[in-house]
A and B are shown apart, each in its own frame.
Chain A
Amino acid sequence: MLRTKDNTKKRVDKKGKKTTTSNEIIRLEDVSKSYSTGAPALNGVNLQIKKGEFVFIVGDSGSGKSTLIKLLLRELTPTEGRITVNGTDVEKLKRRKVPKFRRNMGVVFQDFRLLKDRNVYENVAFAQRIIQVPTREIRKNVPSILSTVGLAGKYKAKPKQLSGGEQQRVALARALINKPPILLADEPTGNLDPKNSWDIMKLLEQINLNGTTVLVVTHNREIVNAMQKRVITMKKGVIVSDEEKGGYIDED
């Protein structure tokens, strides 16, 4: 029974692929991920995200959100299935090519992940250094992106001297400075108060309006409900709902 169901799904996907590849930026086909112990973290997930979309991924802990992010970043590889990001088949990616692949995506984490010993300027500039942007240009680009996120005056500060909201803006500036086509935000507001959460969300929305595909993993119910974006709900490793202009689905 289950198998036939899967097969039909696949066929639909393959059919759909032809018409949608051009504006599809992320595609998961029957993706499963199991760790050595316990139930699979992801179980036959199918997902397409188009260029320029703003998508929330919601779900409790253990729903497979984090695994999904790790798969997209190619920190993990799927046990089964196929993942395509911006035209790259993640499975076929050689280890050597992973860094270049990751530059497709700006990433923002719940815990900011800034380089603690470096000031705001250096943290943001770092993303440009790794793609070997000349220093001359970095000097122009960093202040410009810092003013976009509203931190123009704090470029000399160390992460420790900043509030959570400010640190997340630095992380956002770092994620955006190379103008990646995709922005992945893993619980970006998890450590922030409501006001800062909203500010960050507004920024993400702004970024999305400028053409970047934005994927936000969150469990901030208020924000999800208020923003009226596409909402993908996950539970125990499967997608249980996928709605345009959706809301946060409660348990039961």
Chain B
Amino acid sequence: MRISSFFYTLKQGVISIFRNKWFSLASIATISACLFLFGLFYAVIANFQNIVQTAEEGVSVTVFFDEGISEDRIVEIGNMIQKRTAVSKVVYVSADEAWNSFKDEYLGEYSDGFTENPLADSANYEIYLNDVSQQADLVTYLESIDGVREVNKSEVTANTLSGVNKLIGYVSVGIIAILLAVSVFLISNTVTIGISVRKEEIEIMKYIGATDFFVRAPFVVEGIIIGLFGSALPLVIIFFVYNNVVDYVATKFQILNSILQFLPVQTIFATLTPVSIAMGVGIGFIGSFITVRKHLRV
């Protein structure tokens, strides 16, 4: 393609956006509406997942050892546990550490009366998991290790969390599918209305001997630009709305602050921006490409 043809194509694409301003506006609005819903939904899901993940990371299994176990054996057990794929982190808590933390947490200044460590046998491993759903398997394994006296776990938390995780997964897939179906429907409608005006134009071009590529290129440029605007608009809106909503929830529902850890807007946008723009451009590209194709057979 010659440079002059390239600029001509670009120029025609831009001109025709303005020439058909109502059609362009309708298309931008349609894409915006879909991507706005998508963005909103993504922000909610991302936060949900973050909350669940934070909670998951806090779930630990505690392993206590038999009385009089050797230091070597404890290290050995530690290595064995570390090798499991489900395990993300193993922390050794000595008897003194266990006592100190218990003291600080529950006794405070009343701990002065204890001269000896009442938790002498409470040295343990705190084990953190990658995936809460594997807790049950891990516990069975841990209980089978020689030298392990007791394994403490929180069955309820683990089950709930992995359940919530699954639910979020299903809901995400469902909502994304519905959103996609709705956008395809809306966009094909908008494009069909817009294209009837262009049908004649395409026909004329083809009669004169324009190649499909030459006819299509300005339409595709137009579609991509519309897609860009259609994705930029909801991003801007969500950017401002997000912070306000987070602030609002944080002040209005202070009770929830301990469990609701909102993601910063930057984290959300690091993913949302490229995905939204790609979707907008993709919708614009595919929409114009397919619709023009229908009319190219002249």
Chain A interface (Cβ within 8 Å of chain B)?
Answer: 73, 75, 99-103, 107, 113-117, 126-127, 129-132, 134-135, 174
Q: Is B205 at the interface (CB under 8 A from chain A)? A: yes
Knowing A132-B5, A135-B4, the reply to whether A99 touches B298 (Cβ < 8 A) is no
| A99 in contact with B8 (CB, 8 Å) | no
Residue of B nearest to A105 (CB): B209
Q: B208 contacts which chain A residues (CB < 8 A)?
A: 102, 107, 126-127, 130, 174
Q: Looking at the complex, which one of B19, B200, B204, B209 makes contact with A100 (CB distance below 8 Å)?
A: B209
Distance between Cα atoms of A114 and B203 in the complex (Å): 11
Q: A132 contacts which chain B residues (CB < 8 A)?
A: 1-2, 4-5
Report the minimum CB–CB distance from A159 to chain B (whole Å). 11
Known: A101-B209, A102-B207, A174-B208. 5 other contacts (CB 8 A): A73-B207, A99-B210, A99-B211, A100-B211, A113-B204
Q: Is B206 at the interface (CB under 8 A from chain A)? A: yes
Q: Is B150 at the interface (CB under 8 A from chain A)? A: no
A-B interface pairs (CB < 8 A), number = 52
Which residues B197-244 have CB closer than 8 A to chain A? 200-201, 203-212, 214
Residue of B nearest to A135 (CB): B4
Distance between Cα atoms of A113 and B5 in the complex (Å): 23
Q: A101 contacts which chain B residues (CB < 8 A)?
A: 209
Q: Looking at the complex, which one of B19, B203, B211, B298 makes contact with A130 (CB distance below 8 Å)?
A: B211
Interface size on B, residues (CB 8 A): 21
Distance between Cα atoms of A176 and B33 in the complex (Å): 47
| B209 in contact with A102 (CB, 8 Å) | yes
Q: Looking at the complex, which one of B5, B19, B207 makes contact with A129 (CB distance below 8 Å)?
A: B5
Q: Looking at the complex, which one of A75, A100, A115, A174 makes contact with B201 (CB distance below 8 Å)?
A: A115
Chain B interface (Cβ within 8 Å of chain A)?
Answer: 1-2, 4-5, 8, 16, 19, 200-201, 203-212, 214, 298
Residue of B nearest to A126 (CB): B208
| B4 in contact with A99 (CB, 8 Å) | no
Q: Looking at the complex, which one of B16, B201, B212 makes contact with A99 (CB distance below 8 Å)?
A: B212
| B210 in contact with A107 (CB, 8 Å) | no
Distance between Cα atoms of A132 and B211 in the complex (Å): 11
| A113 in contact with B207 (CB, 8 Å) | yes
Q: B298 contacts which chain A residues (CB < 8 A)?
A: 75
| B206 in contact with A99 (CB, 8 Å) | yes
Distance between Cα atoms of A100 and B298 in the complex (Å): 14
Q: A131 contacts which chain B residues (CB < 8 A)?
A: 209
Distance between Cα atoms of A116 and B2 in the complex (Å): 26
Report the minimum CB–CB distance from A188 to chain B (whole Å). 14
| A134 in contact with B2 (CB, 8 Å) | yes
Residue of B nearest to A117 (CB): B19
| Nearest 10 CB-CB pairings of A with B | A102-B209, A103-B209, A130-B210, A99-B211, A135-B4, A99-B209, A113-B204, A132-B2, A117-B19, A127-B208
Q: B209 contacts which chain A residues (CB < 8 A)?
A: 99-103, 127, 130-131
Distance between Cα atoms of A102 and B203 in the complex (Å): 13
Residue in A107, A117, A130, A134 with the greatest tally of chain B CB atoms within 10 Å: A130
Residue of B nearest to A184 (CB): B207
Q: A114 contacts which chain B residues (CB < 8 A)?
A: 204
Distance between Cα atoms of A116 and B200 in the complex (Å): 10
Residue in B5, B8, B204, B209 with the greatest tally of chain A CB atoms within 10 Å: B209
Distance between Cα atoms of A113 and B16 in the complex (Å): 18
Would you list 26 pairs from A and B whose C-beta atoms are within 8 A, ordered by A residue?
A: A99-B214, A100-B209, A101-B209, A102-B208, A102-B209, A103-B209, A107-B208, A113-B200, A113-B203, A113-B207, A115-B204, A115-B205, A116-B201, A126-B205, A126-B208, A127-B208, A127-B209, A129-B214, A130-B205, A130-B208, A130-B209, A132-B1, A132-B4, A134-B2, A134-B4, A135-B4
